[in-house]
Structure 1
Amino acid sequence: MKLKASISILVTFFLLTSCVSNKDLTYFGDKGNGDELLAQNIKLNEKPYRVQISDLLSIMIKSSDQKLVAMFQPVASEDGSNNGTSEQSLYFNGFTVSKHGNIEIPTLGKMNVLAYTLTEIEEAIKKKLLEDYFKEEADLFVVVKLAGLRFTVTGEVGNTGIYVLYQDRVNIIEALASSGDITTVGNRKDVLIIRQYPQGQKIHHIDLTSIEAFNSPYYYIKPNDMIYVKPLKQKSLGTGTTLIQSITTIVTVLSLVTSVIVLSRNL
């Protein structure tokens, strides 16, 4: 009787601790207040990105006077345009925001861009060019973009590593998808985002199983973010993550226990 009770307790323990619940695997699983309200909340959270220290900017200046434009480009081709679009080219020819919040454009000199939006930087550059170098009829065109949004993903994901997405805005789901998504033993309820600030790094948390994740200030990642996915307890226990795997583990353990009992009785 004691043996049967011990086996029952053992089986119950494995069933309760080994399987990963469907709740733990489902993104945004709980119900919100309706799709329309949710969409409004997401739209409200889509604030323009403001430039930070160490950001890499790509600045393109176009005009009918391309020879004059060449003065403001780090590396110019014969027609006065900057054609480097590879990651390596952007690294050398882009404009890195210094620790004081400045970028330095050839001929124009230093400009403070810290906490400005990309649109505000475009307008400031265009204004300065029109005041000092170009005439209104020069058809001046200025585009400022982030030279790729770089971030790191590590922990329980398909492929850990450093990634660069050439988009103005990247949400955490897109970032995780680029790394092969969270594994079945990854903790979606407490994903860590380590973010850079002028005063240092801070760790933030987001629950991706809740629909409230859309309202989180960390739903959209920022350049140089590090995303860490912690393992679930099932991984540390070394048990199966599905019911079939758990049953296999239980059968293996029971077979081992039975073998030990049989051998001990024959001694």
Structure 2
Amino acid sequence: MNKYFVFVYLIFCVLFSSCITNKDLVYLQEKEGLTAEDLGLIEQPKPYRVQVNDMLSIRVKALDQELVGMFNPVGESGSGSQAGGLYFNGFTVDMHGNIEFPILGKINVLGYTIAEIKEKVETELLKQYFKETAEIFVTVKLAGLKYTTIGEVGTGVHVLLQDRVNVIEALANAGDINVTGDRKDVLIIRQYPEGQRIHHIDLTDIKAMQSPYYYIQPNDIILVKQLKRKALGAGQTAMQNLATVSSIVSLIVSTYFLTRNL
């Protein structure tokens, strides 16, 4: 009978060690003696540089709005910031890094910041079409920050009408990571001019706020893997594991007595 109890004991230890603890669930924990005060002021990310497939909202204003009507979508009254409207009226960066702008034609914006694109469009308008006396004013914005979430999180494509979003905000907008999701190794698949790269970030560690991948960029893919505990089929809590162990113990004991009486 001793061998059966040893077997039960081993199962008991394995299942209880598979519980999902607070260390697996809590974001931005102070680890290795590092505190929030030790981190100091977290610097804002550098200005984003436009990539292929980004969508831009560009609007031209002047004292006489009739002069700039051809550069702006017909009937627009501020609603153009909505993602759906900008799909038809915005400017998508093509595979060569260009946008097609009325009158001016192709303008290369690949690798430029929003401020640099604004200056570039204003310069070209004054050079090719307007005089200084027109007092034109150009606004350039990203048409929302689009990103994708997949895995142990609300799966889908999301658009936030913000210029700057960190990964925790992005995950919260997607419904947050499931209890069985691995917060210690979240994958950020990021687009670069030469292709895509995969980056890793541990969201349970407060040092994640210093990571260059803490703030997401347009077209990022956030992939959350499942914990090994889930893959093994273990319970998420001690009570769930206890129920599993109880069932196993009951089965083993019943089997033992049945075989003993044969």
TM-score norm. by structure 1 comes to 0.90
How far apart, CA to CA, are the structure 2 residues paired with 1:11 and 1:204? 37
Matches within 5 A, 1:186-201: 186-201=181-196
Counterpart pick for 1:241 among 223, 236, 239: 236
Confirm or deny that 1:70 pairs with 2:66. Answer: no
The corresponding residue for 2:22 is 22
The alignment yields a C-alpha RMSD, in angstroms, of: 1.9
Structure 1: gaps (5+ residues)? none
Please say if residues 104 and 128 of structure 2, whose CA atoms lie closer than 8 Å, have aligned partners that are also in contact: no
1:91 aligns with 2:81: no
Preserved CA contact (<8 Å) 2:36 2:206: no
Structure 2: runs of 5 or more not aligned: none
Contact 1:193 1:228 in 2 (8 A): yes
Task: Tell me, yes or no, if the aligned pair for 1:148 and 1:166 is still in contact at 8 Å.
Answer: yes
- Is it true that 1:117 corresponds to 2:113 in the alignment? yes
Aligned length: 260
**Bigger shift: residues 84-93 or 133-142:** 133-142
For residue 254 of structure 1, report the CA deviation from its aligned partner: 1.0
Check the 8 A contact 1:72/1:108 in 2, yes or no: no
Q: CA deviation at 1:68?
A: 1.4
Residue-by-residue CA offset, 1:182-230 (whole Å, 9 max, x unaligned): 1111111111111122222211111111112111111111111111101
Q: CA deviation at 1:235?
A: 0.5
* Residue number in structure 1 paired with 2:12: 11
Q: Identity over aligned residues, as a percent?
A: 55
CA contact under 8 A between 2:56 and 2:90: conserved in structure 1? Answer: yes
Instruction: Name 1:49's counterpart in structure 2.
Output: 48
Query: What is the match of residue 206 of structure 2?
Result: 211
Q: Secondary structure at the match of 1:104?
A: strand
Q: 1:214 to 1:106 in 2, by over 3 A?
A: same
1:101 to partner: Cα distance: 1.2
| 8 Å contact from structure 2 (residues 60, 137) kept in 1 | yes
Q: Is the 8 A contact 1:76 1:82 kept in 2?
A: no
Deviations 1:234-263 (A, max 9, x none): 101111111111111111111121222222
Normalising by structure 2, we get a TM-score of 0.92
